[in-house]
Structure 1
Amino acid sequence: MSAVDPQSRVLSGMRPTGRLHLGHYHGVLKNWLALQHEYDCFFFVADWHALTTHYEDTQHLQQHMLDMVTDWLAVGVNPGSSTLFIQSRIPEHAELHLLLSMMTPLSWLERVPTYKDQQEKLKEKDLSTYGFLGYPLLQSADILAYRAGSIPVGADQEAHVEITREIARRFNHLYGREPGFEQNAEMAIRKMGRKQGEIYRKLRKTYLEKGDEEALETARALLKEQNNITLGDQERLSGSTEG
């Protein structure tokens, strides 16, 4: 079995919550039509994602799914050029979501901008559920399960892609880190020099305790500027910064 090249793989999904319209065509499907001939594309029916906001009414879900895929095919999405599938038919999505939920800090999910924004916009719905809070985590499971390197999303979804990176780093830090990671990270900080090391420690503490994104970005920039630590040290400290 050949190795997956993440940079050549695209993953994108659509929630079956109603009839498609021209906005879906111009905003999503036209892009899919071009991508399917250039990349290894996986396009999926995000029926579990639909439940995050429409869990109370599922009687039309199956018909919405059928209508949506029919529209995909009608505009030219080609099953011969791309892989089409239904999210809930692949149980590994739910398994990975569950495993990731065991090690993802609650504060990470609570600070995703769309969480509070959507609650304000959809006041008529009861969205005080884990399913809604964990929407970005399920999305992370979707992405990581297929090792997709390109995720076509709107501006409102960019934070979901970023949290996927953070979750992947945390997972690798917890379960794939090298022996003596803490000691090596501490040695790397010392290589930075006293002043730079102290700045890094303060930024790391601020991010881990308060979730301060500005502190995280400043720490990342600080690490990139260091000429007296190796690339491996930069990776160690980047992982350490994000917990």
Structure 2
Amino acid sequence: MSENIVVSGIRPTGVPHLGNIRGALQQWVNLQDNHNCFYFVADWHALFGLEERSREIAENTKKAVATLLAIGLDPDKSTIFIQSHVPAHLTLFTIFSAITPVGWLERNPTLKDMVRADQPLPYGLLGYPVLQAADILLYKGTMVPVGKDQQPHLEITREIARRFNNLFGTDCFPEPQAVLNESPVLPGTDGRKMSKSYNNVISIEDDKDTIVNKVKQMITDPEKIRKTDPGHPDICTVFQLEKPFVDGTYSADIYQRCTEGRIGCVEHKNMLAEIIWDYLRPKQEKYFYYLEHEEQLKKIVDYGDKRAQEVAQKTIEEVMDIIGL
């Protein structure tokens, strides 16, 4: 087992979709065999981000855990837990809040994207990166799987770790490094980034007919009217969504057939719907199994919560001793 400690979380803000699964979550699965991994459902972050109300967070938390298990996370390899079930997250967040300059948080480039124009800025949202730092450093995380948009938050985590270590003359906290996800951002059914906020997702709960109907509505190449017209796959959303789910030979063949006018858009959409369904179906079966067996789901969460709590408590005891409280 590597000495590297991987820490990452998923916000319970709705039903997980294909972009989540094929991107960040697949990376989590890939890391669990060779690293000590802590993966959590970030329900405090959902509340702090003003994204959901409490009853929605509770339901979405169950769906998030079911998804993590369905895609291949193993509770014996990865510590899978719920953020709010480990009180030490808020304890360390409070300690870090005492030493983090407000200016660091105001410079956060993603803050303006998170603030709602019709509401005042809450302290919790401003302090979102401080809680994220507590999430990571509580487990002495050294590796954090992130997308490019999350790198500024991780830099704040490193700054907080350095500031704490310098202020108290310790080497308590490491400076975690980003593990960038190389998977491409999946386009949604409207061509924009797949996102629940755009309502353009294919979710883990979609049945085959729903997937077929969603793919049918996707825009291809506006200049390819007939099957025999030469197409331009580079601007086709169907082709771009398909690429991460097929090998290079398959993709190259589709590219050539499209540009030579040997495949029509309707045929290609039907092929894509089948590919996505074949990919999602086994995961969906496991997902619904866990949602239907809540006691089993709870036992897995309790097991992960306990493992996380043991590690977190050691860190908090160390920190309290360092700061003299």
TM-score > 0.5 by shorter chain: yes
Give, in angstroms, the shift of residue 18 of structure 1. 0.5
Asked whether the equivalents of residues 17 and 54 of structure 1 are also in contact (C-alpha less than 8 Å), the reply is no
1:13 is aligned, of 9, 14, 24, to 9
Q: CA deviation at 1:66?
A: 0.6
TM-score, normalised via structure 1 length: 0.66
Q: Matched residues in 2 for 1:177 and 1:146: separation?
A: 16
Which amino acid in 2 is paired with 1:158? Q
Residue of structure 2 aligned with 1:164, choices 145, 157, 161: 157
Query: For the Cα contact (< 8 Å) 2:13–2:51, is it kept in 1?
Result: no
1:92 equivalent in structure 2: 88
Deviation digits for residues 177-228 of structure 1 (CA, Å, limit 9, x no counterpart): 69xxxxxxxxxxxxxxxxxxxxxxxxxxxxxxxxxxxxxxxxxxxxxxxxxx
Residue number in structure 2 paired with 1:142: 135
Alignment of 1:178-193 (within 5 A): none
* Candidates 157, 162, 166, aligned match of 1:173: 166
Structure 1 letter corresponding to 2:117: K
Is 1:68 the counterpart of 2:64 in the alignment? yes
Partner of 1:35: 31
Deviation at 1:76, TM superposition (A): 1.0
**Residue 116 (structure 1) aligned to one of 103, 112, 115:** 112
Q: Structure 1 residue aligned with 2:144, among 141, 145, 151?
A: 151
CA contact (8 A) 2:108 2:152 kept: yes
More helix by percentage: 1
How has the CA–CA distance of structure 1 residues 59 and 11 changed in structure 2, closer, same or farther, with 3 Å as cutoff?
same
Kept after mapping to 2: 8 A contact 1:53/1:127: no
Say whether 1:83 aligns with 2:79: yes
TM-score, normalising length: structure 2: 0.50
Question: Does the 8 A contact of 1:100 with 1:141 survive in 2?
Answer: yes
Who is 1:53 aligned against? 49
Q: How far apart are residue 89 of structure 1 and its match?
A: 0.8
The equivalent of 1:23 in structure 2 is 19
Identity, % of aligned pairs? Answer: 49
1:45-93 Cα distance to aligned partner (Å, 9 max, x none): 1000011223662221111011111111111111011100110111111
SS in 2 for 1:163: helix
CA–CA distance in 2 between the matches of 1:127 and 1:153? 28
Partner SS, residue 59 of structure 1: helix
Conserved? CA contact 1:97–1:141, under 8 Å: yes
1:133 aligns with 2:129: no
Per-residue CA distance 1:92-146 (angstroms, 9 max, x = gap): 1100000110111110110011112322xx435x251001000000000011111
Aligned length: 171
Alignment of 1:208-219 (within 5 A): none
CA–CA distance in structure 1, aligned partners of residues 72 and 120 of structure 2: 35
Separation in structure 1 between the aligned mates of residue 49 and residue 133 of structure 2, nearest angstrom:
18
